[in-house]
Each structure stands twice: as structure tokens, then as C-alpha cells.
């Protein structure tokens, strides 16, 4: 076994690898760029080596710097994590030449399976069912258009060296093929240093289901069940689960055995993932093989009890697998939610900044529920524009699927993140979605259910009552705390005012206190619009999470003070609630509405990012749908288009400019 390994990655996956290495008694070496100087993975490792500037192309993607760090520290092996150099055969070969072990498959398997074009050709030769498509390199936009016409729309344009949704576009028409080809090539070049793309038929309403395989150097290969990864946005996974609610035992076995056969055909050694798309009739088609650890590997670990990182290290050290196929049992259900630094209310645009608060739910086993949070940040960490926007992977396990989903719902409500925009509200809302809860999903789920993007959820009457009860309980404690401060002219008498009004959005709810007193823990009997409710909670002023019961219903909600009220977030609902006396409410109804400024004649930068190109000139007439500018943020290119026919009157930005959110890119006449 190795005594020292280097982790050639950053963020949560670097922390994840370090945890297992530490458990195995192996010394770890971290590498870091300028942006990650104070990162969590640097602090966790036993040693750390600086490898260059913030851009990945000048640090984490430079194989020579990783090898130099190995030599300087005496690391015997390298775990690449995922992304960056994890699927570069040339990196694996360079390590071998230096006598350093690559904790992953051999170059032969990486070359055969790591390249999407070559893997498709190899799978075809091995009689594996694949999606119809053009497996050669697409030369230009005209060539792409011709191929798409032959295959039939819709088609998927994909970067050959791609992953994580980068360099990937769906095209439904000739125009979309040309634009998608240019965008996919550009993203592929900037993300992977390889601009080759290929085209295949896009299967409508597919499920994305992948099989985890594990193989050693002694001819032993097995599969560890499947993961359902169909909840995606822009081809990037958002929520995963294991097992899939769709597969039966027969299909699972067929997919698993096919995956094992494919792995054996390339002499695969290590953990790897064979991805399939599955249609509504349970026909499955090989999509690609990821010759590395997957982002979503924790759900497999939770249902099998097998530490995949440990197995990768043991296989790389030459050990035989201690597990047989008959030992692999799928126990219970696991769900993973990816927390991204993005604004769900602004079409999921990336967000950067400092985590002023970062307090995940407590990890561990709680009754029949397990909570796990894989993360690479802590309170005070900086989310930069240089890397992937994923902040954490929150996982829950339970004996049944719905129990795991409900546990995830409560864990998300308890996850405090301030300082950046994030997608917790969207994930929390998703956990309540009937179609998700029933398992009736496909890769088009988010686009179908949220065609206009994710908008704030308006609470129904029952939810409004819960929110009003929380707001009343919190306001009573806030006022009591103020009344007990020294120097107050009129200390509180101790008697509770009976009648209150809570404003939530446009609604005014009448609240009457039937019985109770101000204390911690608090118990209040209320009526809200005439309906009786009992509220119990041990919340204290300053707590970020309000926990308790409302009408016997268990509630965990986030509470933040705002002007004259509180911002309450619960199950994807986020509202401002103001509890006030009836006379105050009468006057409040007379207040004029604040109108937002008119920005209809401006193109605002929707996220902090870099201007890649400006497609128009001053004085130019543009039609609705035409491209105005392209802005890059967190390795994704975002095309900004005209919403209607316009004339450009002024350009305020140029290619290469780094812009803040809402910066004015151009103005219109």
C-alpha cells in the first residue's frame, strides 16, 4: 500500500479523497492555484504545493506541474478526482514514465473509452447497442448541418473530450445546428483544450441511467448497481438517486452485465461508469464510459456500503477485489442534491462571492436516516469565477425512496448559505414536485416542468397559515427581547396582545392568540383566518433555522430579519412575512407600491462574467432572437439574444471585459 498520495484536484472531490486516504493511514499532498490558496482541501491535506495562477489551464490542467509536485514531496501515486486531468491518457503515461502510479485505469482504457468518438466506435465493434450518429470529427458548421439532416432532428452536438454538460447542445433545426456547433466547439476548446465535436440522434424523453463498475488488475470485474441521473439542466446533472425507480431486476442485470463486458474488453482496472440512455420501453443504449470517479458516486456508496475511493486506491496498489458480484446488495435508497452557486430566479445564472454563512445540516445517522454532505468550502470561502459552480453535494439515505426524499427536503430546509445566490430553493421545491416523487421523470423534466425558468412559489392557504404562524411566533419573541433591553421607557407588561395581522405577499392574514405566553420553548394556541393551530418551538432570536411544529406538522424553515419583518424560506417557498398590529396593517395597506426602474432599453449582464464577443455595432438594427453578445462564466458560454426588434444606440462593453451582475452591456434606441 502507498504511504503518500497526491490529489490532483480541488474542492469537494479533493476533500473526499483525502478523507478516505486519511482513514487508510495514507499521507496526502494537495495542490492549489492562487485562487485556492486558503481552500479547505489545502488545509485538510498533510502537505500542499502551489502549482500556478487561478485559471485551470495554467494550474490544475498542467501535467508537468503535478508531476513536479509529486517529485518534490515523494508522492508515490496520484488520485485525479474527476474533471481536469482525470481522463487524459497522456497524463497517465507521463506518470508511468516517472514511476508514479495513476489511481485510475490504464492508458489503453482511457484512450478507448475516455474519448467519446472512439468509445462509440469501440462499443459498435464490441456489439454494444449505441445511439445512431456520426462518429467522425465534424469539420465545420455546414458539415454539421448536412450530418444532422441525414440523422434526422433533433440531434445532440457533443464535445469529444467533454463532460459535465460542457460543449454540449441540442439542435432542433438547421439554424440551431450552426449556432450549437459554434458554441459547443468554443466551450470544448476553453474547457478541455480540444475542440472536436460529434453528432448523434437525440432520443426524446430518455432517462439517463448509469452503471458503476469496479475492476482490478487480476481479471475481476463487477457492477455495483445503477444511478438515475435524469434530473438535468443544460445537460448537467442536478439530482441523482440510487437505485433507479424505473429499472426492474432483469433490465438492471442486463445493463450491468453489458457494462462488465465492455470494461473487460478494454482491460479496465479501477472504478468507472458506463452511461446509458433508456427509453420508455426500457431499451437502453450505450452513451459513453467515464474512466474516472463520478461526481454522484456517494449515492452508490450509501446503498452498497462500498467506499469507491478506497477500492480505487487498493486496485492501483495491485490488490485483488475483496468483493464478489454475489456480495453486492442494494440496500435502501439514496438521493443526492447538487448545490450550485447560481440564481434559480434568474434562469440559473452563475453567482460568485464570499460565503458569509455556510452551515450544512449535521451529518451522521439519525434514526433510520443518514445525512452526508460532500463539500470543499467552509464559512468565509470564496466562490470564484474560475471553476465549476458546485458548492456541495448533499446526500440522504433511508430505507425507502419517499423517506429519502423527505429527509432530503428537511435537510435542504436546514442548509444555511448566505453571501451568494444558490439553488437550494429550487432543490427544495423539486423535492415536493409530484412527478419527481412518483419517479415519472426524464432528462427533459426541468425544461418541461419549468419552461419559463424557476419562479418564486406562491404558497397556498395551508402553507400561508404555517408561514403566518412562524412569523407571529418570531415577532413575539423579537418584541419581548427588545422590551427587556435596559433603558427602555415602557417595559413590557407581560400581557400578550391578542390580535395581529400577518402580511405575506399580497395577502393579509388575521391572527388571534387564544392562549400562550412568551417563553422558550414557546407554545401558542392561535387562530389564523379562523382556523385553530398550535405552535411549538424552541427557536431563539438569532437562530437561522426555525424548528418546531405547526398544527402538528413538523417544520424546519430558514428565518432572516428584513426591514419590518422576516424572510422565511421553507420547501422552496421564499416569502417576506410582516407581523403587525391591526392598526399598523390598516396604514400599511395605504402605502404606495415601489416600482422597479425601467431597464427595457438596456442589455444587462445577467451574471458576473467575461465578455467573449459582441455581435452587433452601434446603429445596427437587430431582429428578435438574434445574438447580441456572448458572456462566459464558470466555464459556460451564455448567449444573450434580442427579446424583440431593436436598434443598438450605444455599446458599453467590449470583448475581454470582466463585468459585474447587472452591468449595462449595451443600450437601445
Enzyme catalytic residues: 288
**8-state DSSP, 540:** -
- Cis omega before residue 530 (within 30°)? no
Q: In whole angstroms, what is the distance from residue 196 CA to residue 33 CA? A: 28
CA dihedral sign of residues 573, 575, 579, 580 = negative
| Residue 221: closest CA among 255, 250, 276, 259 | 259
Specify the 3-state DSSP secondary structure of 356.
Answer: coil
Contacts of 18 by beta carbon, 8 Å cutoff, 6+ apart: 7, 28, 30, 41, 44, 45
> Are 606 and 349 within 8 A, CB to CB?
yes
Residues in a beta bridge with 500: 511
Locate cell 397559515: which residue?
465
Query: What residue spans of 414-486 are helical by DSSP H?
Result: 424-432, 434-438, 445-449, 461-483
Helix/strand number for the chain, H first, E second: 17, 40
Sheet holding 602-604, edge to edge: 602-604, 664-668, 646-651, 621-622
31 forms beta bridges with 49
Q: Cα(35)–Cα(38) distance, rounded to whole angstroms?
A: 8
Q: How far apart are CA 97 and CA 87, in angstroms?
A: 17
- Close Cβ partners of 250 (under 8 Å, ≥ 6 residues apart): none
Q: Which of 611, 608, 601 is nearest to 646 (CA)?
A: 601
Q: What is the DSSP pairing of strand 77-79 with strand 47-52? A: unpaired
CA distance 270 to 286: 20
Cβ 160 vs Cβ 120: under 8 Å: no
DSSP string, 234-273: TTEEEEEEES-SS--HHHHHHHHHHHHHHHHHTT--EEEE
With contact defined as beta carbons under 8 Å apart, do 31 and 48 qualify?
yes
- CA atoms of 433 and 419, how far apart (whole Å): 27
DSSP state letter for 659: E
What is the per-residue DSSP string for 466-506?
A: HHHHHHHHHHHHHHHHHHTSTT-SS---SPPP-EEEEEETT
Expressed in percent and rounded to 5, the helix, strand and coil fractions of the chain are 30, 35, 40
Cβ contacts of 98 within 8 Å, gap of 6 or more: 67, 70, 71
Using CA atoms, how far apart are residues 223 and 215, in angstroms rounded to an integer? Answer: 9
Residue 29 gets which letter from DSSP?
A: E
Please tell me whether residue 533 adopts helix, strand or coil conformation: strand
Stated length of the chain: 669
Report how far apart the first and last C-alpha atoms of the chain are (Å, whole number): 69
Amino acid at each position: 500500500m502507498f504511504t503518500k498520495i497526491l490529489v490532483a484536484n480541488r474542492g469537494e472531490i479533493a476533500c473526499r479523497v483525502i478523507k478516505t486516504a486519511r482513514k487508510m493511514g495514507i499521507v496526502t499532498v494537495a495542490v492549489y492555484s492562487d485562487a485556492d490558496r486558503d481552500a479547505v482541501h489545502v488545509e485538510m491535506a498533510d502537505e500542499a504545493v502551489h502549482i500556478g495562477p487561478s485559471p485551470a489551464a495554467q494550474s490544475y490542467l498542467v501535467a508537468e506541474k503535478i508531476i513536479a509536485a509529486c517529485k518534490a514531496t515523494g508522492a508515490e501515486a496520484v488520485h485525479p478526482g474527476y474533471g481536469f486531468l482525470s481522463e487524459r491518457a497522456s497524463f497517465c503515461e507521463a506518470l508511468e514514465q516517472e514511476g508514479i502510479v495513476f489511481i485510475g485505469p490504464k492508458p489503453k482504457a482511457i484512450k478507448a473509452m475516455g474519448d467519446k468518438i472512439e468509445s462509440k466506435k469501440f462499443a459498435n465493434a464490441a456489439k454494444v447497442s449505441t445511439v445512431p450518429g456520426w462518429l467522425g470529427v465534424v469539420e465545420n458548421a455546414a458539415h454539421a448541418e448536412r450530418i444532422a439532416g441525414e440523422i434526422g432532428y433533433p440531434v445532440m452536438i457533443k464535445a469529444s473530450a467533454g463532460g459535465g454538460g460542457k460543449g454540449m447542445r441540442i439542435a432542433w433545426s438547421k439554424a440551431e445546428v450552426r449556432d450549437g456547433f459554434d458554441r459547443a466547439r468554443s466551450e470544448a476548446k476553453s474547457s478541455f483544450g480540444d475542440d472536436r465535436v460529434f453528432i448523434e440522434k437525440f432520443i426524446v424523453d430518455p432517462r439517463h441511467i448509469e452503471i458503476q463498475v469496479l475492476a482490478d488488475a487480476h481479471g475481476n470485474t463487477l457492477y455495483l448497481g445503477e444511478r438515475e441521473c435524469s434530473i438535468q439542466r443544460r445537460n448537467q446533472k442536478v439530482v441523482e438517486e440510487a437505485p433507479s425507480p424505473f429499472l426492474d431486476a432483469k433490465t438492471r442485470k442486463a445493463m450491468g452485465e453489458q457494462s462488465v463486458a465492455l470494461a473487460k474488453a478494454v482491460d479496465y482496472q479501477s472504478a468507472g461508469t458506463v452511461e446509458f440512455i433508456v427509453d420508455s420501453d426500457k431499451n437502453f443504449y450505450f452513451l459513453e464510459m467515464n474512466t474516472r470517479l463520478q461526481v454522484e458516486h456517494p449515492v452508490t456508496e450509501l446503498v452498497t456500503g462500498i467506499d469507491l475511493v478506497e477500492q480505487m486506491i487498493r486496485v492501483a496498489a495491485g490488490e485483488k477485489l475483496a468483493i464478489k458480484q454475489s456480495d453486492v446488495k442494494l440496500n435502501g435508497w439514496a438521493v443526492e442534491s447538487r448545490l450550485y452557486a447560481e440564481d434559480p430566479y434568474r434562469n440559473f445564472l452563475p453567482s460568485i462571492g464570499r460565503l458569509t454563512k455556510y452551515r450544512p445540516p449535521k451529518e451522521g445517522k439519525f434514526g433510520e436516516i443518514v445525512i452526508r454532505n460532500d463539500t470543499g468550502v467552509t464559512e468565509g470561502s470564496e466562490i470564484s469565477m474560475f471553476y465549476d459552480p458546485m458548492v456541495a453535494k448533499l446526500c440522504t439515505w433511508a430505507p425507502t425512496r419517499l423517506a429519502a426524499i423527505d429527509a432530503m427536503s428537511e435537510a435542504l430546509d436546514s442548509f444555511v448559505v448566505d453571501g451568494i445566490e444558490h439553488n437550494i430553493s429550487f432543490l427544495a421545491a423539486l423535492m415536493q414536485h409530484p412527478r419527481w416523487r412518483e419517479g415519472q421523470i426524464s432528462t427533459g423534466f426541468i425544461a418541461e416542468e419549468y419552461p419559463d425558468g424557476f419562479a418564486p412559489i406562491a404558497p397556498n392557504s395551508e402553507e400561508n397559515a404555517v408561514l403566518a404562524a412562524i412569523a407571529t411566533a418570531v415577532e413575539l419573541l423579537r418584541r419581548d427581547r427588545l422590551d427587556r433591553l435596559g433603558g427602555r421607557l415602557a417595559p413590557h407588561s407581560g400581557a400578550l396582545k391578542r390580535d395581529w395581522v400577518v402580511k405575506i405577499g399580497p395577502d393579509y392574514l388575521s391572527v388571534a392568540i387564544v392562549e400562550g405566553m412568551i417563553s422558550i420553548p414557546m407554545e401558542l394556541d392561535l387562530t389564523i383566518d379562523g382556523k385553530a393551530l398550535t405552535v411549538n418551538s424552541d427557536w431563539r432570536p438569532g437562530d437561522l433555522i426555525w424548528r418546531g411544529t405547526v398544527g402538528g406538522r413538523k417544520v424546519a424553515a430558514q428565518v432572516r430579519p428584513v426591514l419590518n419583518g422576516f424572510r422565511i424560506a421553507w420547501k422552496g417557498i421564499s416569502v417576506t412575512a410582516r407581523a403587525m398590529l391591526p392598526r399598523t396593517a390598516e396604514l400599511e395597506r395605504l402605502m404606495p407600491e415601489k416600482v422597479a426602474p425601467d431597464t427595457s432599453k438596456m442589455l444587462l449582464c445577467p451574471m458576473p462574467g467575461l465578455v467573449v464577443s459582441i455581435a452587433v455595432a452601434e446603429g445596427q438594427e437587430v431582429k428578435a432572437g438574434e445574438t447580441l453578445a456572448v458572456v462566459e462564466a464558470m466555464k459556460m458560454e451564455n448567449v444573450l439574444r434580442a427579446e424583440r426588434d431593436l436598434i443598438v444606440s450605444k455599446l458599453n462593453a467590449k470583448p475581454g471585459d470582466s463585468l459585474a451582475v447587472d452591468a449595462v452591456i449595451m443600450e437601445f434606441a
